[in-house]
């Protein structure tokens, strides 16, 4: 390789290294088919940016504190609202506003945003087809942290919710849901994950549920949208610990299932596999009928396999009397069982009257005798969370070109100076 070519390679490498690096905390680079609308650069507010948006647009929100109360209407599908940094783009409900962002349009993505102190919900999709939430943080809300109802075709990933008085994460009233929740964290909430009458290609996986009143609770109740029972969901490779051990806010009757790691309440044909459940104050994994006023939904055909359950206050694995047929408990590691013959049986026949007496009651009755719950606004705020990683793009190369030109000029001058002073380059000091 000639000296000139070696110089060019060195200079280009140096320029690329000098260009702005891809790092957590910056916004992801826009794709070639995305139009980026910057707030406040291109539009003064998020509201005006939504109003001016078209499908495929990315509304890139600058650092700051925003009041929220935003609605993305049905006629604004296919947009993305993205913060430049998850920890510095913050929606503050001030304890009086209802929601940070409510989405009524199909195909809307929310990412790299935080929200706190809303009396309702943090980020909320209602009756949509296609939705995504990534790198979202919500804390201290009166109802749900990240919430999708009567919606399908979604994903919630890499998100964190703490201090939700109802559920940290909720996917409900959909059949099929065609939705995945993965790599999320739920803490200090009444319920970590709740899913009323939700199933059908619904997966909750690889997530952490800690110090909630209840960890994971698919349930069957008639709330007027998708009819019960809940059925056909998968819960796998999650870590659930300390359920019922910490004081949390509580604005849901389902908080009456306090002390349960994973509970299937009146659900059918669910799979619970490969989870680590520890330190629940009552039951690690339990199946129980759902009773609401005069109606009862009987759990059946649920598979509880290959879970590791330990340290539960009453029983690690439990099946309530009155449960239906086909519930299987196989390949689990657990010490305390109720009934005692629960391990390795498929299907299980019968159930425990003691478990039914404790849990097979209307949720409102289960609240009787529970200690008063702290207000949601009194829960501790979480620390910073990882922002959406940046993928290298051609923008970095274009940014590198001016640096490359400067570096090339500097390098050329340096070589010229060395040749003149060393006398080895054939250039006379008196001739430029």
pLDDT digits (tens, 9 = 90+) for 140-164: 999 999 999 999 999 999 999 999 9
Q: What is the pTM of this model?
A: 0.84
Confidence of residue 33 (pLDDT cuts 50, 70, 90): low
Q: How confident is the model at residue 343 (pLDDT cuts 50, 70, 90)?
A: confident
List the one residue out of 346, 255, 262 whose CA is nearest residue 300.
346
More confident call, 428 vs 216: 216
Q: Above 50 in pLDDT, residue 196?
A: yes
Q: How far apart are CA 138 and CA 26, in angstroms?
A: 19
pLDDT for res 422: 38
Q: Are 257 and 359 in contact (CB under 8 A)?
A: yes
CA distance 104 to 382: 29
- Say yes or no to pLDDT of 169 above 80: yes
Instruction: Confirm whether 209 is domain-assigned.
Output: no
CB 106 within 8 A of CB 83: no
Residue 349 confidence class, pLDDT cut points 50, 70, 90:
confident
Average pLDDT over residues 218-228: 95
Q: What percent of the chain has pLDDT over 70?
A: 82
pLDDT tens-digit series, residues 388-411: 975 444 333 333 334 333 333 434
Flag whether 35 is in a domain. Answer: no
| The predicted structure's pLDDT at residue 294 | 84
Count Cβ neighbours within 10 Å for each residue of 44-81 and write b for 16 or more, e otherwise: eebeebbeebeeebbbbbeeeebebbbbbeeebbebbb
> What is the percent of the chain where pLDDT is above 90?
79
Domain membership of residue 420 as a residue range? 1-22+392-432
pLDDT at residue number 17: 33
- Phi and psi for 423 in degrees, rounded to 5? 75, 10
Structure tokens at 313: 């206050």
Q: Classify residue 10: in a domain, yes or no.
A: yes
What pLDDT is recorded for position 31?
54
Of 351-365, 382-396, 418-432, the one with minimum mean pLDDT is: 418-432
Residue 286 lies in a domain: no
Q: Checking DSSP bridges between strand 283-288 and strand 260-265, what pairing results, if any?
A: parallel
Answer whether 320's CB lies under 8 Å from 348's CB. no
- The mean pLDDT of 113-122, rounded to a whole number, is 98
Instruction: Examine the pLDDT at 2 and tell me if it is beyond 50.
Output: no
31 vs 219: which has the higher pLDDT: 219
At 239 the pLDDT is: 98
What pLDDT score was predicted for residue 408? 38
CA 160, CA 229: separation in Å to the nearest integer? 28
Tell me how many domains the chain contains. 1
Q: Is the pLDDT of residue 299 over 70?
A: yes
Q: Are strands 283-288 and 315-319 parallel, antiparallel or unpaired?
A: parallel
Is the pLDDT at 413 greater than 70, yes or no?
Answer: no
Is residue 247 scored above 90 in pLDDT?
A: yes
406 belongs to a structural domain = yes
> Model confidence over 46-65: pLDDT tens digits?
999 999 999 999 999 999 99
In a domain, 156, yes or no: no
Rounded to the nearest integer, the mean pLDDT of the chain is: 86
Q: Is residue 39 part of a domain?
A: no
Q: In this predicted model, what pLDDT tens digit does every residue of 372-390 receive, in sequence order?
A: 999 999 999 999 999 997 5
User: Which has more pLDDT, 125 or 293?
Assistant: 125
Q: Count of alpha carbons within 13 Å of 11, Cβ hemisphere only?
A: 20
User: Is 310 part of any domain?
Assistant: no
């Amino acid at each position: 390789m000639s000296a000139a070519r070696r110089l060019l390679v060195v200079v280009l490498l140096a320029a690329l290294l000098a260009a702005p690096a891809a790092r957590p905390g910056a916004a992801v680079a826009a794709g070639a088919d995305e139009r980026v609308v910057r707030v406040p650069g291109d539009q003064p507010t998020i509201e005006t940016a939504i109003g001016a948006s078209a499908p495929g647009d990315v509304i890139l929100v600058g650092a700051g504190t925003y009041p929220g109360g935003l609605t993305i209407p049905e006629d604004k599908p296919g947009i993305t609202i993205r913060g430049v940094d998850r920890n510095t783009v913050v929606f503050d409900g001030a304890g009086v506003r209802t929601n940070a962002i409510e989405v009524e349009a199909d195909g809307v993505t929310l990412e790299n945003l935080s929200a706190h102190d809303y009396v309702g919900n943090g980020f909320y999709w209602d009756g949509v087809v296609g939705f995504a939430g990534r790198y979202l943080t919500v804390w201290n809300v009166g109802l749900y942290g990240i919430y999708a109802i009567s919606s399908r075709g979604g994903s919630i990933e890499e998100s964190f919710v703490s201090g939700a008085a109802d559920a940290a994460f909720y996917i409900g009233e959909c059949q099929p849901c065609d939705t995945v929740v993965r790599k999320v964290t739920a803490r200090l909430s009444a319920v970590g994950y709740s899913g009323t009458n939700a199933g059908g290609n619904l997966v909750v996986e690889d997530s952490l549920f800690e110090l909630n009143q209840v960890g994971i609770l698919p349930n069957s109740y008639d709330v007027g949208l998708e009819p019960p029972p809940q059925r056909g969901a998968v819960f796998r490779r999650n870590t659930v610990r300390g359920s019922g051990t910490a004081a949390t806010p509580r604005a849901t009757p389902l908080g009456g299932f306090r002390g349960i790691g994973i509970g299937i309440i009146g659900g059918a044909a669910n799979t619970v596999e490969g989870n680590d459940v520890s330190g629940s104050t009552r039951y690690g994994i339990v199946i129980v009928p759902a009773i609401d006023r005069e109606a009862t939904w009987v759990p059946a055909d649920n598979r509880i396999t290959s879970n590791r359950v330990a340290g539960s206050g009453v029983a690690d694995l439990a099946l309530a009397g009155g449960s239906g047929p086909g519930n299987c408990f196989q390949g689990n590691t657990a010490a305390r069982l109720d009934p005692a013959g629960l391990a390795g049986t498929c299907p299980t026949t019968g159930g425990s009257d003691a478990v039914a007496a404790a849990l097979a009651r209307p949720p409102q009755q289960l609240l009787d005798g529970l200690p008063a719950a702290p207000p949601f606004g009194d829960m501790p705020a979480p620390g910073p969370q990882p922002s959406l990683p940046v993928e290298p793009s051609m923008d970095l190369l274009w940014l590198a070109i001016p640096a490359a030109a400067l570096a090339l000029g500097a390098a050329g001058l340096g070589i010229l100076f060395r040749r003149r002073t060393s006398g080895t380059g054939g250039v006379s000091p008196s001739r430029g």
